[in-house]
């Protein structure tokens, strides 16, 4: 099949594009809009009402739907049932997909939700899913396993550790993620006061309280960027450390975030769950900031010890304090070079394009050849 596909990209039903509430999905979508659009594909993005596309989206069309946000799966118990609120955004988005699917060669879903996964074998237009989280609920595990068996090649993952959460019939297709490296300025030296940094949603599963305690133990300031999803958790973080340890910077657009992030001496990553990838880890490295992370989930595949950061046993605060001191002497340019080799936006778009083209090839199991090609490691930028 030739390039120049007509693609419908469906965003998350949690928050609007540009608000930050969609977490890593927003960054991934921005990378795909630029990367796939630059490869000659005709793109339409479907998102919640009030969304806005990132600057430089060119001829990409934006469709929006009204509706109430979908409850986030990461805040449910493992045995929770599927919940769809009245006048929900999730069914509104997928009603629009079903109405418009005939105008597209493929639909690419970026949301981690039961409904689009369940629809996969029932859509007339091929429906692909870039899975954005690891295992969080039994019902989601089951529908992902079902799609993997019934519709080979329609699923892709960000990292091997994320894919390992699921019952898959064969090796996973691992695509990594991509970043606009022109948006991140390399900083050869940190700011004179050399704070530590942390970024992510302010919620318990992200483990900010651990980073705050590490910073307090070292007598350092900790700059924190992100949307406050759990106000009570933010208060608990404040109460756990001396006043003045945590400096709340809020959710910032990439340009403002990287300008502040680059001034940090070390970036901390402290997830309490199996993080699917770790976008903020790569963003820090792109600015030249070494990362100290728990050896858990996706960040454990992104940090190369001694090159762009250090890994420590999960939840070991003493080990993290020692690693921060060691990471301060790492070559900041090596951090930037790692991102250039492994996580460029252009290479990520090329991997996604290859996956879609393989899945649309008549008469062959979708993505079969690619699964064997990329399984076993997070792809390099040149793959």
pLDDT tens profile 125-153:
999 999 999 999 999 999 999 999 999 99
Do residues 353 and 257 both lie within one domain? no
- Locate 232 and state its tokens: 């009570």
Residue 374 has pLDDT above 70, yes or no: no
Asked whether residue 274 is assigned to any structural domain, the reply reads yes
Do residues 159 and 61 both lie within one domain? yes
Alpha-carbon span 197 to 223, nearest angstrom: 5
Please give the span between the terminal C-alpha atoms of the chain, in angstroms, as a whole number.
Answer: 20
Do residues 284 and 149 both lie within one domain? no
Please give the mean pLDDT across all residues of the chain. 91
Question: Please, which pLDDT band fits residue 3 given cuts at 50, 70 and 90?
Answer: low
Strands (DSSP E) along 49-117, which ranges?
61-65, 106-109
Tell me, yes or no, if the pTM score tops 0.75: yes
Question: Please, which pLDDT band fits residue 371 given cuts at 50, 70 and 90?
Answer: very low
Q: Is the dihedral of CA 363, 368, 373, 374 positive or negative?
A: positive
- Nearest 5 degrees, angle CA 375-CA 181-CA 282? 55
Print the domain residue range for 41.
6-178+344-374
Alpha-carbon span 301 to 151, nearest angstrom: 27
Number of domains in the chain: 2
Q: Which residues are within 8 A (CB) of 240 and not within 5 positions of it... i.e. 6 or more apart? A: 209, 212, 213, 216
Alpha-carbon span 220 to 293, nearest angstrom: 17
Asked whether residue 277 is assigned to any structural domain, the reply reads yes
User: For residues 200, 206, 210 and 211, what is the CA-based torsion angle, rounded to 10 degrees?
Assistant: -20
Do residues 43 and 190 both lie within one domain? no
Query: Coil, helix or strand for 293?
Result: strand
In percent, how much of the chain has pLDDT > 90? Answer: 81
Which residue is it, tokens 């899975």? 131
Alpha-carbon span 174 to 369, nearest angstrom: 13
Strands (DSSP E) along 51-179, which ranges?
61-65, 106-109, 127-130, 155-156
Asked whether residue 247 is assigned to any structural domain, the reply reads yes
Asked whether residue 380 is assigned to any structural domain, the reply reads no
Do residues 173 and 40 both lie within one domain? yes
Do residues 193 and 172 both lie within one domain? no
Alpha-carbon span 173 to 162, nearest angstrom: 11
Asked whether residue 51 is assigned to any structural domain, the reply reads yes
Question: Please, which pLDDT band fits residue 75 given cuts at 50, 70 and 90?
Answer: confident
Do residues 301 and 353 both lie within one domain? no
What's the confidence (pLDDT) of residue 90? Answer: 97
Do residues 85 and 45 both lie within one domain? yes
């Amino acid at each position: 099949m030739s390039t120049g596909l007509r693609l419908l990209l469906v965003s998350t039903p949690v928050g609007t594009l540009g608000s930050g509430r969609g977490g890593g999905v927003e960054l991934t979508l921005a990378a795909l809009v630029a990367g796939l659009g630059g490869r000659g594909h005709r793109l339409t993005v479907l998102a919640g009402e009030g969304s806005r596309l990132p600057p430089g989206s060119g001829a990409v069309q934006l469709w929006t739907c009204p509706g109430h946000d979908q409850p986030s799966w990461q805040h449910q118990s493992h045995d929770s049932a599927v919940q769809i609120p009245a006048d929900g955004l999730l069914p509104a988005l997928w009603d629009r997909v079903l109405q418009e699917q005939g105008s597209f060669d493929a639909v690419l879903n970026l949301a981690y939700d039961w409904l689009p996964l369940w629809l996969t074998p029932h859509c007339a237009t091929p429906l692909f899913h870039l899975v954005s989280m690891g295992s969080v609920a039994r019902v989601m595990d089951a529908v992902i396993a079902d799609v993997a068996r019934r519709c080979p090649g329609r699923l892709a993952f960000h990292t091997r550790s994320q894919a390992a959460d699921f019952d898959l019939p064969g090796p996973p297709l691992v695509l990594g993620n991509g970043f606009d490296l022109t948006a991140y300025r390399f900083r050869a030296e940190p700011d004179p006061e050399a704070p530590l940094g942390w970024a992510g949603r302010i919620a318990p599963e992200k483990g900010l309280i651990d980073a705050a305690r590490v910073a307090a133990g070292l007598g350092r300031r900790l700059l924190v960027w992100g949307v406050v999803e759990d106000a009570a958790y933010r208060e608990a973080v404040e109460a756990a450390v001396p006043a003045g340890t945590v400096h709340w910077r809020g959710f910032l657009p990439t340009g403002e975030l990287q300008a502040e992030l680059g001034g940090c001496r070390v970036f901390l990553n402290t997830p309490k769950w199996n993080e699917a990838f770790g976008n903020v880890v790569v963003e820090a490295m792109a600015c030249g900031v070494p990362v100290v992370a728990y050896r858990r989930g996706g960040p454990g595949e992104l940090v190369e010890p001694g090159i762009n950061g250090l890994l420590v046993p999960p939840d070991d605060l003493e080990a993290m304090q020692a690693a921060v001191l060691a990471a301060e002497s790492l070559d900041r340019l090596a951090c930037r070079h790692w991102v250039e080799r492994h996580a460029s936006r252009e290479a990520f778009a090329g991997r996604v394009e290859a996956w879609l083209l393989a899945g649309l090839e008549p008469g062959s199991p979708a993505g079969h050849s690619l699964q064997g090609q990329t399984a076993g490691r997070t792809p390099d930028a040149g793959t």
